[in-house]
Structure 1
Amino acid sequence: MKKSFPRSAIGTATLSLLALGSTSVLAQTPAPTLKEITVTGNPLGSTDLIAPATRYSGDGLLLRSKTTLGETLDGTPGVSSTYFGPNASRPIIRGLDGDRIRILANGGGSLDASSLSYDHAVTSDPLSIERIEVLRGPGALLYGGSAVGGVVNVIDNRIPREAQFDENGGISGKVDINAATGNSERGKGVLLEAGNQRYSLHVDAFDRQTSDVRVPRDLACTKTAVTTTARRICNSASDVSGGAVGGSVFFDSGYLGASASNYRSSYGTVAEDRVTIGMKSDRYALEGEIRNLDGPLQSIKAQYSQTDYRHTEFEGPRPGTVFTNKGSDFRLEARHAKIGNIDGVLGVQTESSRFSAVGTEAFAPFSKTSQSALFAYEELGTAWGKMSLGGRLESVHVESLGNPRVARFTPAKKEFKPGSYALGALWNAAPGWQMTSNLAYTERAPKDYELFADGPHIATAAYEVGNANLAKEQSSNLDLGAAWKSGGHSFKVNTYVSRFKNYIALNQTTGVRRNAEDGEVNPTEDPGNAGFTASGAAFRPLAEFRYQQVRARFTGIEASGNIRLQEGASTVDLALRGDVVRATNLSNGQSLPRIAPWRVGASLLWASGPWGASVGFDHLAAQKRVSAPPVGVTQAYTLWNATSSYRMKAGPASLLWYARLDNITDKLAYSATSVLTSTAFPKAPLPGRSLKVGLQASF
């Protein structure tokens, strides 16, 4: 496939930037450190958050960065990954996945098809990300009624929001180069920013190639006519590239900026040895803010984005099913003047998208979805802390447009009016101690595929059937938290329960469908001609799964902490983490599928001047709480890892050398949250031992 940022261009830019280290252009006024704003954690910019949140940036993000967003965040308390091999994984938060988790780009909507199917990758690559924020629980409803599980906000500086240089102007940037052994990864990225106090320009580009991932056991592979075996996940190679240009103009009380970005990826689907996906996404964004206003409003911020997403599933060299999703997102947010001790924001958000799938695996019809929402978030400051109140009212229209090539898809329309509300409190109980509570009621409109699906979905090894009679998904959520900090010591724990009145579940029925365009129910196989029906038609059975509404409950605890073992010129810390979640279908008493087992982990971190190092482990218990039939059971395992880093100066540039060793003992392990563990076992274990080394140069 054609790439917008060829490898040769990135390599040339990388070498050129390194050579610039001794030139005078870098000796200009250095870029100041920008104030970090937690966009999703609190719309008012407060650092005292009522809703539980986690943020990764800088060295911390760099040292945990992996090839997908889901794997990068996996291991964060309360967060796991869908893990459809090394190239497609979406975050799971508190046992909830898919459209119950909202992925944002700089606080605005991010459009792709990753929630439609586990083998569809998220169009965000860790190489281009500057910061990731994870907001868990009901406080995320401001960013969409569907975000009952949480929000993941992927932040870059493609539209600069603050001037980075004074009137003399300047240039800053960074170069990333890395390589890994487990998948023969070769990655590189370049970022440049230039400007003065009145304007700023941004350019970035990245490129990464990987081969099939090494694992601790032999696996069969039928990519060619001859079946082979190797200690590799068959068809797990990838080739990813992308980049962006953007800029902003600053005035005395705000800014106006725009960006254009693209993402290209070609990767194997893992579930099928000969199927690859060619993906492309083009996104255009416009953003601006007016601050320091007089009158009832203090500031007004607006965001608009338009995305054109397309991916083709190739069966060998031949194009198969083609998925497209085109849409736009608009968000207007106004912060009002304080009313006594009350501070808050009001806003409106609209989204629209048109989806289509053409081919043998078009299990959902062409569709059009549009929604509009009004939202508000208010905080009341008190002598003991603060209270918050948030609400969101939506209007959602979902329309099936049928499919001219598939007769079983017929036009239909559905409308929903979801409403969601949240009440929170933060109590400064004692010096160093904070207690939080969040209570929320949320409603989620069913998605197009939940309503209208009717076809074979090979990624889940199922024939999926939607339900046009689905009602709004309704849930009540309670979260209680406690946090303590004293010097280098800290501790945080949250416990939660979410009860769904009518959770939308994909349940297996007793039926079997033929994997063909007619989707024949319970076809009879010709006993004398295996693989064919009595009428002579090709027969490949798939279990039938239907979207149904059930009562459900999610409960869990997540905790993290740090113990400062040594203070001084050198520091030694013991970082602790753990979580557990239980998800039950209350309608039949069974466990819901693909839920992470209880997990605990610890890391010993050492820092001394420019040096840093860590060694740690994550232990995951066996997962035997699975839905009937009992598939997807996983055994307990422990994964050890280590990192090291060294920072040095090279003229005006800062060089960070780093290394990370994953799965040190080369342990064979399978993910309980991956659908592949149930549908394609043993094709996709977790990666084996891998060493990643890299260099980041910044100036």
Structure 2
Amino acid sequence: MLKYSPLALLLAQMFNSPAAADEQAQEHQHEDTEVIVISASPLARTELNSAQPISVISGDELREKQAHTLGETLAKEPGITGTHFARVASSPIIRGLDGPRVKITQNGLDTADVSRGSPDHAVTTETSVAQQIEILRGPATLLYGSGAIGGVVNVVDERIAQDFVGDTRGFFGGNLASVDNLSDASAGLTTDIGQTVWHIDGFNRSSNNYEVPTFTNDEGERVSVIENSFVDAAGGTLGGSYIFDNGYAGLSYSRLEQTYGIPGHHHGHEDEPEDEHADEHGDEHGAEEEVLPYADLVQDRVQLHAGILNPVEGIEKLELRYGYTDYQHQEIEGSTPSTTFTNEQHELRLTANHHLTGDWYGAIGYHGFSQSQQAFGEEAYTPPSETDRHGLFWLAETQTDGLNWQTGIRYEHVAIDAPTLAFGTTSYEFEPVSASFGVSYQWHPQVRLNANFSHAQRAPSANELFANGAHLATQTYELGLGYELHQEGEHAYAIEAGTERPLLEKSNSLDLGAHIESDGSHLHINLFANRIDNYIYEAFTGLNSADLFIEDDHGHEDEHEHEEEIGHEPEGEHDHEEGLSVIQYVQRDVLLFGYEISARWQLTDQWRLNAFSDYTRAYTTDGQENLPRLPAQRIGTDLTYNQGSWETQVGYIWHSQQTRTAAYESATPSYGLLNAQFNWFPQAFATTNLSIYLKGENLTDKLGYVHTSFLKDDAPVAGRSFSIGIRGEF
């Protein structure tokens, strides 16, 4: 686990409260606990002294939980679930909020992929080479902007060092798994050379279609392997920093290449003659076997970080972070790209830490963001768009008599343009304003309490505004807020430009928490309530895309031009079986509330018991209609036995049934997963902190459907799996 770096310690000492409070609190914590600075905050906060609920995964805990997707890596954290698009793509869901409400960052800067717009698009962070993952639950809009109204997941690595590492250090790891024939390997090295620090890391991963307990799908077929769920991925990073007396400056370059199947992605080729089908999709397995759609992703990323202490009077630290990303992925059928998604993005954050007055310290800054996204081809359901954000923020805190007060405010200007839009409003501007106030209180040497109130506003994303087309990965036809449906006949609905302007989402949330630490035990409780006005979500309309047509600017039906895109048959009756379910983005006032509980008991020197539970409830305030794809309640526990150079662990997680469903959404039954792991730490390799592990997951081969997934009924959780791995640090 990570301790304070010299630069962070110096900054914390300047601010007095965070570091000093934690150093005093450590004597009451378990002997294995170390203080970790949250790099996602400019005020050197830790898990304990933050009024906002924050958790950190690092060290061996991170290595044990590491999976291909970020969503699967975090899926066992209290309050965190995943979108679970099979095992090829999964984004984190925080307290029932996902997509454009959850900011995913790499060292504090947006990952700049297109995962926020669709569950089948991969998140481009890599956890196998990460140092730690920080999770900020609830609105984190002050520093990160309106895209963080639900929370932030910040993946931290060592690509740009802020301090000397002390000669050389590195890591390595590898893993083999049975359920999908997974093989992966990763390694990294950081070293000092004169006044510079250099870092290099890389990974390679390959897996086949994954196995599941046999079930019957909607077509009545018996399924034991999820077709088209393979993954091939590789990436690397090179970074260098120059360290001087009162600061640092560094630059890094990274590249990610990933190819993965897109399960559930069908285009209705079933009715084509078999010879045409074979000609188009034949491969080495035979001319009659279809080559299913897959994604080919490439991302190049450059990051620049620089920081200096005491640059001018009144400024304790000035830090700059800039990132440029060039992203592209193609969805390929046979040998031909059917759809291409691109994103070119610039992001700049400039932060100045300053002493306000007395014991008050703060951070003021500017955050700029420019994004150019394009989609073209068969599944380009959103037009090309430009999004520009400019934000000013200010954070402040002080500590008096065991109370750590924290407050802040942010103003943002957001401009979203779709210049090539065929009809409807092509440009929107919004001005979100967010503020928060919180307090953390050391009520007792063993008890710390926290409370935080946030008012956060979010501008709609380009996808939520302009979507108008078939989204085959989710088997839906999406309509954005900029459009309306008008019934023109029994089976005819016109898509027209919207007459109502989309509104800002406005969230008012309250968090209450307690952290209780005593000799050999730990208890952490979070309660939350969040009222969001004008909440944007995808509501199923009950319509079929075969019923839709588009009217031109003069109100005339343009059926011939759009009949193939939307689903009309040129002659005869509409084929509803071939059409897609129509979902439309709507705005309603909603209420979300729930809890997260985690606990640890050191029963003896050898035996340790961990447990957690979480729950989220969400519905509209008018009529109490449930929101779609809400995570079910979970209860989990694991028992660990440690004996010197080895330890073993057995755990069980129960996922409750989800019967609180939205319109046109089915209930999901409960299921439980039994897992076990054995770790061996060879003493002969103590200097490399080597560990070898055997892991068994879903040992009872339980069939489990993930309610938050668009592919719930087609891609359940993986079946029984055994894996062996090795990891080490030096």
TM-score range with shorter-chain normalisation?
0.7 to 0.9
1:317, distance to aligned residue in structure 2 (A)? 2.4
Q: Is the 8 A contact 2:648 2:677 kept in 1?
A: yes
Distance in 2 (CA, whole Å) between partners of 1:587 and 1:42 is 40
Instruction: Give the letter for the 1:487 counterpart.
Output: D
What corresponds to 2:521 in structure 1? Answer: 489
CA distance in 1, matches of 2:521, 2:514: 14
C-alpha displacement at 1:220, in angstroms? Answer: 7.4
Other-structure match for 2:28? none
Amino acid aligned to 2:235: G
CA contact (8 A) 2:346 2:370 kept: yes
Alignment TM-score, normalising by the size of structure 1: 0.88
- How far has the Cα of 1:564 moved from its partner? 1.3
1:552 equivalent to 2:587? Answer no
2:603 is aligned to 565
Q: Report the Cα offset of residue 489 of structure 1.
A: 0.5
> Relative to structure 1, is the Cα distance of residues 171 and 386 closer, same or farther in structure 2, using a 3 angstrom cutoff?
closer
Structure 2 counterpart of 1:13: none
* Counterpart mapping for 1:189-588 below 5 A: 189-196=186-193, 198-218=195-215, 231-272=224-265, 274-293=292-311, 295-337=313-355, 339-402=357-420, 408=422, 412-468=426-482, 469-514=501-546, 532-534=569-571, 540-567=578-605, 571-588=606-623
Residue 653 of structure 1 pairs with residue 688 of structure 2: yes
Amino acid corresponding to residue 419 of structure 1 in structure 2: V
Q: 1:220-263: CA deviations, max 9, x gaps?
A: 799xxxx9965211100110000011110100001000000011
RMSD, aligned CA: 2.5
The residue aligned with 1:145 is: 146
Match for 2:720 among 668, 689, 692?
Answer: 689
- How far the C-alpha of 1:218 sits from its partner, in A, is 4.9
Letter in 1 for 2:457: E
Structure-2 change in CA distance of 1:401 and 1:377 (3 Å): same
Q: SS of the residue aligned with 2:658?
A: coil
Structure 2 counterpart of 1:460, one-letter code: T
Cα distance, 1:185 vs structure 2: 0.3
**Offset at 1:140?**
5.2
CA distance in 2, matches of 1:221, 1:582: 28
Given that residues 441 and 474 in structure 1 are in contact (C-alpha distance below 8 angstroms), is that contact kept between their aligned partners in structure 2? yes
User: Are the counterparts in 2 of residues 456 and 515 from structure 1 also a CA contact under 8 Å?
Assistant: no
Q: Structure 1 CA distance, aligned partners of 2:478 and 2:558?
A: 12
Asked whether the 8 Å contact 2:263–2:473 carries over to 1, the reply is no
Residues 613-648 of structure 1, C-alpha deviations (whole Å, 9 max, x = no match): 21111001110100112x231111110111221223
Q: Is the 8 A contact 1:142 1:391 kept in 2?
A: no
For the 8 Å contact 2:590–2:618, the answer to whether it is kept is yes
Identity %: 33
> Aligned equivalents of 1:595 and 1:252: distance in 2?
51
Q: What are the superposed Cα offsets for residues 552-587 of structure 1, whole Å, 9 maximum, x if unpaired?
A: 0101011001111003xxx31111100111010223
Output the CA distance in 1 between the equivalents of 2:508 and 2:615.
20
Quick check: 2:265–2:474 contact (8 Å CA) kept in 1? no
CA contact (8 A) 1:396 1:416 kept: yes
Q: Is the 8 A contact 1:514 1:522 kept in 2?
A: no
Distance 1:515 1:328, change over 3 A: farther
Do the aligned partners of 1:512 and 1:521 also contact (CA within 8 Å) in 2? no
Deviation at 1:512, TM superposition (A): 2.6
Contact 1:511 1:522 in 2 (8 A): no
**Matching residue's letter, 1:627:** A
Take 2:359 and 2:688, find their aligned partners in 1: how far apart are those partners?
46
Amino acid at match of 2:658: Q
Post-superposition shift, 1:549?
A: 0.8
**How far has the Cα of 1:270 moved from its partner?**
1.0
Aligned amino acid, residue 636 of structure 2: G
Displacement of 1:510 in angstroms is 4.3
- Residues 596 and 220 (structure 1 numbering): CA distance in 2 closer, same or farther, change over 3 Å? closer
Say which of 638, 653, 659 aligns to 2:672.
638
CA distance in structure 2 between the aligned counterparts of 1:162 and 1:669, rounded to whole angstroms: 46
Amino acid at match of 1:603: D
Question: Matched residues in 2 for 1:427 and 1:193: separation?
Answer: 38
Name 2:634's counterpart in structure 1: 599
Kindly state the Cα deviation for residue 447 of structure 1 after the two structures are TM-superposed.
0.5
User: How many residues align structurally?
Assistant: 642
Among candidates 176, 179, 183, match of residue 182 of structure 1: 179
Q: What is the letter of the counterpart of residue 184 of structure 1?
A: N
Aligned partner of residue 291 in structure 1, secondary structure: strand
Relative to structure 1, is the Cα distance of residues 654 and 492 closer, same or farther in structure 2, using a 3 angstrom cutoff?
A: closer
In 2, Cα distance between equivalents of 1:563 and 1:35: 19
Distance 1:536 1:282, change over 3 A: farther
**TM-superposed deviation, 1:275:** 1.2
Alpha-carbon separation, structure 1, partners of 2:680 and 2:373: 47
Counterpart Cα distance in 2 of 1:90 and 1:402 = 30
Shift of 1:189: 1.1
Which amino acid is 1:91 matched to?
Answer: P
Cα distance between partner residues in 1 of 2:436 and 2:297: 38
DSSP 3-state at the match of 1:59? helix
Following superposition, the deviation at residue 142 of structure 1 comes to: 2.1
Deviation at 1:55, TM superposition (A): 0.7
Instruction: Tell me the distance in 1 between the aligned counterparts of 2:572 and 2:477.
Output: 21
Report the secondary structure of 2:148's partner residue. coil
1:393-452 CA-to-partner distances (Å, cap 9, x unmatched) read 10000001226xxxx456711100000000001121122111111111110001011111
| Letter paired with 1:427 | Y
Question: Offset of 1:505 from its aligned partner?
Answer: 1.7
- CA deviation profile, 1:572-615 (whole Å, cap 9, x unmatched): 11111001110102233211011111111111122232222211
User: Which residue number in structure 2 is paired with residue 97 of structure 1?
Assistant: 98
The 10-residue stretch of structure 1 (78-87 or 136-145) with the greater mean CA deviation from structure 2:
136-145
Which secondary structure state, in structure 2, belongs to the residue aligned with residue 99 of structure 1? helix
Cα displacement (A) at 1:542: 1.8
CA separation in 2, counterparts of 1:42 and 1:160? 16
CA deviation digits over 1:462-516, x for unaligned, max 9?
2111123211111110111111001221101111111111101211224332399
| Whole-angstrom distance in 1 between the partners of 2:353 and 2:719 | 49
Verify the 8 A CA contact 1:277 1:314 in the aligned structure 2.
yes
Distance in 2 between the 1:558 and 1:521 partners?
Answer: 52
Residue in structure 1 matched with residue 493 of structure 2 by the alignment: none
Instruction: Give the unaligned 5+ runs of structure 1.
Output: 1-33
Alpha-carbon separation, structure 2, partners of 1:351 and 1:606? 49
- 8 Å CA contact 2:619–2:626 kept in 1: the answer is yes
Secondary structure of the corresponding residue to residue 473 of structure 2: helix
Between the aligned partners of 2:355 and 2:226, the Cα distance in structure 1 is 57
User: Shift of residue 143 of structure 1?
Assistant: 1.6
CA–CA separation in structure 1 for the residues paired with 2:150 and 2:260: 28
Q: Which of 662, 673, 677 is equivalent to 2:708?
A: 673
